[in-house]
């Protein structure tokens, strides 16, 4: 067992974990943050995407011990009182059906918009090309991310 | 029952909208006008559960964590055909952290000699289960179980299995399969020889008609061709599974299911429990597409392990298991012969198909050939072929997607032989008024007039345009009930066991009740997906909206009338003079008498007023008393493709999808569902394919990387044309769209590919290899 300290959604956790424990299982089973989903077991679907120090990572591709000392954001950490503009975009643009891929899509979009606040449609499609939606709502997901981009740009201008 | 007469809108706005008088039961609410005049229904309203889904608060079955919960894992067969001599679980049982091991026993003698263990019939068949403290321990324990197989010869390929000397999958007759892949065509498991079962020759629309030979004799042109479609798995992002707590005398089941009531019924039946002692809950579920109606093998396994250990048990299968054992759309080899006169009139259709649903039944090609076009002489023979592979399951418009792939290419080919435009030929032979409008509006939007002669596109990348049509019955599940409650704190609640598969059932229920009560959709609390509440339909066959929204409105109406009676007594007036709108209850003649709806609830004599309503018969009656409504859910889809004739790569550039589903309830949700149907159709046409190794019986691409599904870069531009159609059938007059959205896409693409390159592709998926072969660019 290894002791790790990880900050998740602003809260620090110190836990004893097995070396083989995947980060996604640490988040879901140890911290009970089940908004991060598992869809494929082979790092193809992106349902488990989270942010580590602001960069999006498929949390099934890392061990929990690798996250020691890092800052993690999961979908549960996105909303304050109001929804985050990306979350609002998915709601307003019907960017979801069953919702299982949605948290991963939102976290991936968050990384994209932090680096590229005004992405083209092509850039959005490339950005989410590692995230699988089996209800296949991609066109509305792209619209949702565009919605968020323009809303976040407005907010920056206003402030 | 007392009746009254009521005038309903009838027809298609902008085309032939009129009215019809119907005699209806007095308990039915008044007729709604067309959507334009409604406030909540027919609008683009955000999903009421969107917040839960975008914040990660939505709990799916796989997210359930109960106190003391154990994790379970299946041991599955790794050979395709065998008798099991012995199973040794001692090492697994002795592994620290393991709480129970359960071996599947042979309870069914169907097709089997009575043996201790079931016969192994496909790679991935569940043999045993382990419950342990963690999933890792359960997996390790499974690897320690030793199975001693007596292996037998097996058969994987459809055509090999049809040979008289092929190894037999079942050596005795088998009954019809409950969750068979098809809806409506009878799959007769008790007739046939070798691995063949059937043929099925009839559906609920009847059997063969006329004289097919005579019809071909009268034909001026005949098209005859063989079409092939592949096995296609569902691959819902959340896999199948349950979390079961059977530690008290009641079994509590969290299930990722599209049919809570059926899962309860199956488990009650399996364990000989009263239905009242099994409770199934599905609050959120991560996709199903037809494969999640049953408790499967995971339900009984998790329940047994929970009983054995006295602990709740989590049993979600993994991605590989999902591919191997939890359903697929069967493949098909179809021969189709269609005759027509020079004016386009069809004279005969003769269809014969073979398909395999592995160890299951239901590999027919549906009813498209039977009912889409007028034709006096028709015959179909649909055979199931058993193979040593995982069972098929319903997949969006079961059978009919395969069938449409043949029929709509043949009609296209016929049009060319007759020198007719494909739309003009359909105008001649298709009697559906709504599809006529869909063809007109769709063609206009698509720019069909720009379509060029097949094969005339110049350059390396050739462009093509094609179209195809579909039909799907208006099914209604009569066992569909909803309770509506208003509470004296001002809140309104809807309760039913019907689940939201992701299409937005929660939201449309809230919209319908809000419209009836003069409230906002967001004012309504929806509690569904729980068998504590009245039975709702399964989310399959596009039945949900047409089955559950009329009783939801009727229950709300009944509650409202009870509330009006209380209020009328207080106001010393007649309840018939009160209306609910804009959040208020008003007297239609006396402006001084009005009260906020929520305020009126606070003044109720009791803590709540509730009413439960069930689906009543369609106002104009049914075609079949079990719930086959008149008319159909028609669609017309148009596809534009680019074909790279050097690489063979096909890109779908654009789809225009024209659809009808009665009265549309939520435009945003409808568009999402149509997008999904279309893209799954693109994927079926171009990418997805189960690859089996016929020498080992293993499924070679049972994962998310080699089983190719579409991602964001492969998605066409999709334009949706929704055609409102009023039929005065029920209090909401609404129907679903799940199946219709998926039927025509693949064949519209195939027709567009033909238009681009001038050579027809008769087999999907249309891979680069098939394109290059068709263009004579590869040598065998």
Please name each of the domains of chain B with its CATH number: 64-152+235-325 (3.30.365.10), 158-233+328-410 (3.30.365.10), 433-474+628-774 (3.30.365.10), 477-614 (3.30.365.10)
Nearest C-alpha of chain A: how many angstroms from B721? 16
Residue B293 burial (CB count, 10 A)? 21
Largest CA distance in chain A: 49
Instruction: State residue B178's pLDDT score.
Output: 46
Q: What is the pLDDT along chain A (159 residues), one digit of tens a residue?
A: 999 999 999 999 999 999 999 999 999 999 999 999 999 989 999 999 999 999 999 999 999 999 999 999 999 999 999 999 999 999 999 999 999 999 999 999 999 999 999 999 999 999 999 999 999 899 999 999 999 999 999 888 776
Instruction: State residue A23's pLDDT score.
Output: 98
A102 in B contact zone (CB under 8 Å): yes
Instruction: State residue B1's pLDDT score.
Output: 83
Work out how many CB contacts closer than 8 A connect A with B. 172
Residue in B with minimal Cα distance to A41: B319
Cβ within 8 Å, pair B704-A44: yes
Instruction: State residue B193's pLDDT score.
Output: 87
Local structure of A15: helix, strand or coil: strand
ipTM of the complex: 0.98
Q: 694-723 in B: which are within 8 Å (CB) of A?
A: 703-705, 709-713, 715, 717-718
The separation between the first and the last C-alpha atoms of chain A, rounded to the nearest angstrom, is: 47
The tens digit of pLDDT for each residue in B504-517 reads: 999 999 999 999 99
Instruction: State residue B184's pLDDT score.
Output: 52
Cβ within 8 Å, pair B55-A41: no
Spans of chain B, pLDDT less than 70: 108-114, 172-188, 780
Nearest C-alpha of chain B: how many angstroms from A67? 20
Residue in A with minimal Cα distance to B240: A39
Q: CA B633 to CA B438: how far, in whole Å?
A: 11
B47 in A contact zone (CB under 8 Å): yes
Cβ within 8 Å, pair B679-A136: yes
Instruction: State residue B176's pLDDT score.
Output: 56
A139 in B contact zone (CB under 8 Å): yes
Share of chain B above pLDDT 70, in %: 96
Q: CA B89 to CA B146: how far, in whole Å?
A: 7
CB B266 within 8 A of CB B342: no
Residue in B with minimal Cα distance to A136: B676
B671 in A contact zone (CB under 8 Å): yes
Instruction: State residue A154's pLDDT score.
Output: 87
The separation between the first and the last C-alpha atoms of chain B, rounded to the nearest angstrom, is: 73
Tokens of B732: 């909401």
Please name each of the domains of chain A with its CATH number: 2-77 (3.10.20.30), 85-154 (1.10.150.120)
CB B129 within 8 A of CB B73: yes
Question: Following CA atoms B503, B506, B510, B511 in sequence, which dihedral angle do they give, to the nearest 10 degrees?
Answer: 0
Q: CA B330 to CA B399: how far, in whole Å?
A: 8
Instruction: State residue B106's pLDDT score.
Output: 80
Q: CA B551 to CA B496: how far, in whole Å?
A: 10
Q: Residue B150: beta bridge partners?
A: B83
CB B470 within 8 A of CB B400: yes
Residue B40 burial (CB count, 10 A)? 24
Instruction: State residue B63's pLDDT score.
Output: 98
Residues of B in contact with A51 (CB under 8 A): none
B54 in A contact zone (CB under 8 Å): yes
Residues of B in contact with A90 (CB under 8 A): 50, 53-54
Find tokens 């920056």 and name the residue: A156
The tens digit of pLDDT for each residue in B467-493 reads: 999 999 999 999 999 999 999 999 999
CB B546 within 8 A of CB B475: yes
B236 in A contact zone (CB under 8 Å): yes
The tens digit of pLDDT for each residue in A9-53 reads: 999 999 999 999 999 999 999 999 999 999 998 999 999 999 999
Cis peptide before B199 (omega within 30 of 0): yes
Instruction: State residue A158's pLDDT score.
Output: 75
DSSP letter at B297? T
């Amino acid at each position: 067992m290894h002791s790790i300290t990880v900050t998740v959604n602003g809260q620090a956790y110190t836990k004893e974990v097995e070396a083989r424990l995947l980060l996604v299982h640490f988040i879901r089973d140890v911290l009970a943050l089940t908004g991060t989903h598992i869809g494929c077991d082979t790092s193809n679907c992106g349902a488990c995407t989270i942010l580590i120090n602001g960069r999006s990572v498929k949390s099934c591709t890392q061990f929990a011990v690798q996250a020691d000392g890092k800052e993690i954001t999961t979908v549960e950490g996105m909303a304050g009182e109001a929804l985050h503009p990306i979350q609002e975009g998915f709601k307003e643009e019907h960017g979801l059906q069953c919702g299982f891929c949605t948290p991963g899509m939102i976290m991936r979009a968050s990384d994209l918009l932090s680096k590229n606040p005004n992405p083209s449609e092509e850039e959005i499609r490339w950005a989410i090309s590692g995230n699988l939606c089996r209800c296949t709502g991609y066109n509305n997901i792209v619209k949702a991310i565009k919605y968020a981009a323009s809303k976040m740009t407005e907010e920056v201008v206003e402030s | 029952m007392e009746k009254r007469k009521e005038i309903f809108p009838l027809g298609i706005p902008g085309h032939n909208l009129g009215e019809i008088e119907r005699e209806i039961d007095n308990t039915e609410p008044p007729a709604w006008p067309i959507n334009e005049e409604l406030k909540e229904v027919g609008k683009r309203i955000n999903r009421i559960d969107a917040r839960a889904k975008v914040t990660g608060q939505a709990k799916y079955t796989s997210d359930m964590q109960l106190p003391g919960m154990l994790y379970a894992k299946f041991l599955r067969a790794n050979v395709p055909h065998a008798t099991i001599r012995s199973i040794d679980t001692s090492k697994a049982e002795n592994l620290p952290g393991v709480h129970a091991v359960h071996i599947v026993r042979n309870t069914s003698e169907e097709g089997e000699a009575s043996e201790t263990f079931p016969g192994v019939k496909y790679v991935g068949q569940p043999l045993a289960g382990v419950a342990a403290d963690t999933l890792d321990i359960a997996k390790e324990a499974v690897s320690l179980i030793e199975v001693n197989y007596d292996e037998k010869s097996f058969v994987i390929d459809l055509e090999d299995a049809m040979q008289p000397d092929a190894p037999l999958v079942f050596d005795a007759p088998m009954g019809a399969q409950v969750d068979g892949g098809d809806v409506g065509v009878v799959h007769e498991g008790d007739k046939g020889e070798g691995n063949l079962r059937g043929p099925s020759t009839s559906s609920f629309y009847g059997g063969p008609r006329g004289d097919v030979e005579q019809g071909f004799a009268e034909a001026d042109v005949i098209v005859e061709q063989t079409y092939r479609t592949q096995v296609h798995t569902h691959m819902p992002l959340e896999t199948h599974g349950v979390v079961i707590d059977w530690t008290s005398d009641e079994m509590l089941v969290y299930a990722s299911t599209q049919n809570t009531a059926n899962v309860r019924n199956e488990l009650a039946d399996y364990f000989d429990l009263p239905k009242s002692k099994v409770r199934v809950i599905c609050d959120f579920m991560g996709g199903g597409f037809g494969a999640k109606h049953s408790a499967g093998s995971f339900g009984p396994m998790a329940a047994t392990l929970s009983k054995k250990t006295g602990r709740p048990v989590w049993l979600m299968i993994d991605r590989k298991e999902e591919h191997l054992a939890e359903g697929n759309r069967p493949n098909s080899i179809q021969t189709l012969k269609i005759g027509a006169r020079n004016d386009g009139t069809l004279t005969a259709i003769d269809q014969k198909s073979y398909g395999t649903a592995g160890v299951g039944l239901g590999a027919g090609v549906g009813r498209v050939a039977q009912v889409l076009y007028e034709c006096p002489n028709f015959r179909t023979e649909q055979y199931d072929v058993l193979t040593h592979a995982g069972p098929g399951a319903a997949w969006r418009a079961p059978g009919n997607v395969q069938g449409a792939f043949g029929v709509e290419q043949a009609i296209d080919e016929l049009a060319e032989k007759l020198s007719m435009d494909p739309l003009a030929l359909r105008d001649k032979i298709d009697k559906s008024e709504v599809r006529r409008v869909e063809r007109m509006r769709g063609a206009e939007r698509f720019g069909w007039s720009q379509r060029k002669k097949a094969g005339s596109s110049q350059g390396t990348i050739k462009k093509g345009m094609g179209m195809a049509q579909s039909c799907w019955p208006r099914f209604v599940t009569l066992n569909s009930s909803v309770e509506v409650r208003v509470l004296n704190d001002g809140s309104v609640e809807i309760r039913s066991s019907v689940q939201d598969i992701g299409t937005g059932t929660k939201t449309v229920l809230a919209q319908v009740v809000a419209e009836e009560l003069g409230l906002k959709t967001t004012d309504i609390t929806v509690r569904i997906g729980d068998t504590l509440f009245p039975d709702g339909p399964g989310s399959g066959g596009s039945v949900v909206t047409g089955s559950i929204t009329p009783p939801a409105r009727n229950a709300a109406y009944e509650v409202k009338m009870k509330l009006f009676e209380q209020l009328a007594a207080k106001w010393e007036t007649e309840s018939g003079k009160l209306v609910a709108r804009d959040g208020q209850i008003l007297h239609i003649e006396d402006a001084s008498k009005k009260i906020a709806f929520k305020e009126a609830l606070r003044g109720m004599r009791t803590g709540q007023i509730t009413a439960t309503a069930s689906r009543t018969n369609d106002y104009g009656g049914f075609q079949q008393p079990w719930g086959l409504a008149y008319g159909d859910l028609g669609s017309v889809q148009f596809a534009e493709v680019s074909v790279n004739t050097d690489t063979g790569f096909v890109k779908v550039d654009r789809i225009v999808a024209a659809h009808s589903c009665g009265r549309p309830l939520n435009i945003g949700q409808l568009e999402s569902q149509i997008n999904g149907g279309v893209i799954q159709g693109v994927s079926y046409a171009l990418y997805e394919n189960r690859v089996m190794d016929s020498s080992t019986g293993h499924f070679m691409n049972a994962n998310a990387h080699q089983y190719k599904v579409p991602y964001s870069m492969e998605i066409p531009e999709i334009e949706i044309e929704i055609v409102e159609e009023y039929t005065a059938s029920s209090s909401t007059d609404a129907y679903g769209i799940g199946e219709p959205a998926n039927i025509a896409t693949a064949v519209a693409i195939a027709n567009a590919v033909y238009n681009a390159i001038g050579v027809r592709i008769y087999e999907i998926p249309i891979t680069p290899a098939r394109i290059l072969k068709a263009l004579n660019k590869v040598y065998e």
